Chain A
Amino acid sequence: MLKVDEDRCVGCGLCMPSCPVEALRAWGKIQVDRNICNECLECIPNCPVDALREG
């Protein structure tokens, strides 16, 4: 399951466009809409501060 490390996430939103189903949104920290997220994990390498993980 996609996990957001809230301590590392700065909320830049750079991961948003990498999500094919538009489940991510920067709102302070990154918000994951769990109803939409299909766990493809394509966002993980798009985080500049390594805040996205599978866990």
Chain B
Amino acid sequence: MAQQKFDLVVIGSGIGGMTAAAMAAHKGYKTLVVEKLPFIGGRFSTREWKGFKLTSGAIGVEVGGVMEKTFKELGLDFDVRLEEGMRYRIGGQDFEMPKRGGLKALINIASGDEKEADRIYGLIRQGWKWQEPPGTMTFQEWLSQYTQNPKILGFFQGVLSAMLGGNIWELPAHAFIRFQTNMGGYRAFGVAPKGNTYLMNQLADVIRKNGGDVWTSAPARKVVVESGAAKGVVVQKNGQEVTVSSQAVISNAGPRRTIELIGSENLDRAYIKLVRDTYVPMSVMWLQIASDKPLLPYHGMLVPAEARRVNLINCPTNVAPELAPKGKSLLIVGAAPKSMTPPHDFKGELELALLDLKDIISGFDNAEILMASWFSGDWPVLHTLPGHELPNKTNVENIWQVGDGAVPQGWAALPGSTLSGRIAVEDMERRLKPGA
């Protein structure tokens, strides 16, 4: 069995793993990334199909947030083209969220009753400024104490579904509050005109330039644990098993797979129970649609707040025509199923999503649906249900978890995953020195 030695092995090349690996390499740790798939990026990758550059997951890239900060620190080209702000469709009209007092203004539009809007906004503000609602009830149960107005409930369903990927009858009451207080919401969105892979390849270059490497088609088989600490990873490479010894391991493989890799015999039962009880990978339906003309007039996302299923629509080719063949346009649509966990009724869910699109988009009937896919189960839209975040450590020392299954409280999606990578490396620096 072949042997190799690194300071750090990162399992999985999603944005959390690649952020951690590039930051560690930049700080002098000899770093190896092992990726099971033949390409890097996970759900932040780009795959070409019929001349389209299709995202493997992320619908937009946050601009002005932790990912841009990371790229600047590493001296990389954060090539992301800014989109306009999000618009919300309420009562058949599209509204931009004003920079100040935006949420209050939109509640007012949805409600049509200024007094009620003031009262409901006051509750949200109280959550931000004084005390968050408990996580023991859903957002819908919590809000229903204060209003039964279906227009307000419908508006919040649209907003929470778009921002956090879940339904108000499933997300805990505090998730939306923490998303604002801890993460600060999303700043602005953009699209990577050369594809997400262009960004990921730069992180891979940082790793290689600093003495590390990135292996694709190289699945991790197990984490080597000795005396309660991670000592390396066994990797399948070119048909043989390679033992890579290391001071530290960072897993971007998701909580369930990480338990398998560490081995439940090495783990505290309380952690396994925590994962069993609280780990809820979330589903979303995802449509990628081609057309001759742009199906959305906006250079930014639309949240159809009162739709049946569709929660987010983006026409990335309006700002980045490079993503489609000449004369073609691409539309990406997210739709939250009735339940965010499987099994799903694909036909029924698709039918409702298509009814939404016919209502929202004129000329939709002439479009070509390239794919109607799911993110679900072990390849979910988010590994963590917002409000039920898992810790990034277990009892086994010197192995950290990153990615959307290990985000800090209140954080989600790309910014949360990126931050989880940075946090793991900062913690590693306090314990382990490069080359030791």
Q: Identify the A interface with B (CB < 8 A).
A: 10-14, 16-18, 22, 25-29, 45-46, 48-49
Contacts and interface: CB of A to CB of B under 8 A. Distances in A.
A51 to B, nearest CB: 10
Contact of B378 (A16, A25, A46, A48): A48
Interface stretch (B47-55, B106-114, B237-245): B47-55
Interface string B37-78: 110001000011110001010000000000000000000000
A12 B372 contact: no
B372 A46 contact: no
Contacts of A10: 342, 374-379
Contacts of B377: 10, 49
B143 interface: no
Given A45-B217, A46-B37, A49-B379, A28 B374 contact: yes
A12 B286 CA distance: 8
Nearest to B349: A28
Interface residues of B, number: 25
Contacts of A45: 37-38, 217
B54 to A, nearest CB: 7
A11 B38 contact: no
A22 to B, nearest CB: 7
Contacts of A13: 286, 371, 373
Given A11-B346, A18-B47, A45-B217, 13 more contacts: A10-B376, A11-B376, A12-B376, A12-B379, A13-B373, A14-B56, A16-B49, A22-B50, A26-B373, A27-B371, A45-B37, A48-B42, A49-B379
B160 interface: no
Nearest to B344: A28
A10 B281 CA distance: 12
A1 B38 CA distance: 21
Nearest to A28: B346
Contacts of A22: 49-50
A28 B378 contact: no
Given A11-B374, A16-B49, A17-B49, A28 B37 contact: no
B50 to A, nearest CB: 7
Contacts of A49: 377-379
Nearest to B46: A17
Question: Which 6 A-B residue pairs are closest in the complex by CB-CB distance?
Answer: A28-B346, A17-B47, A26-B373, A13-B373, A26-B371, A11-B374
Contact of A17 (B54, B347, B374, B375): B54
Given A22-B50, A28-B346, A48-B379, A11 B37 contact: no
B40 to A, nearest CB: 13
Name, among B38, B42, B50, B374, the residue most crowded by chain A CB atoms within 10 Å (CB to CB). Answer: B374
A48 B45 CA distance: 13
B105 to A, nearest CB: 37
Nearest to A30: B373
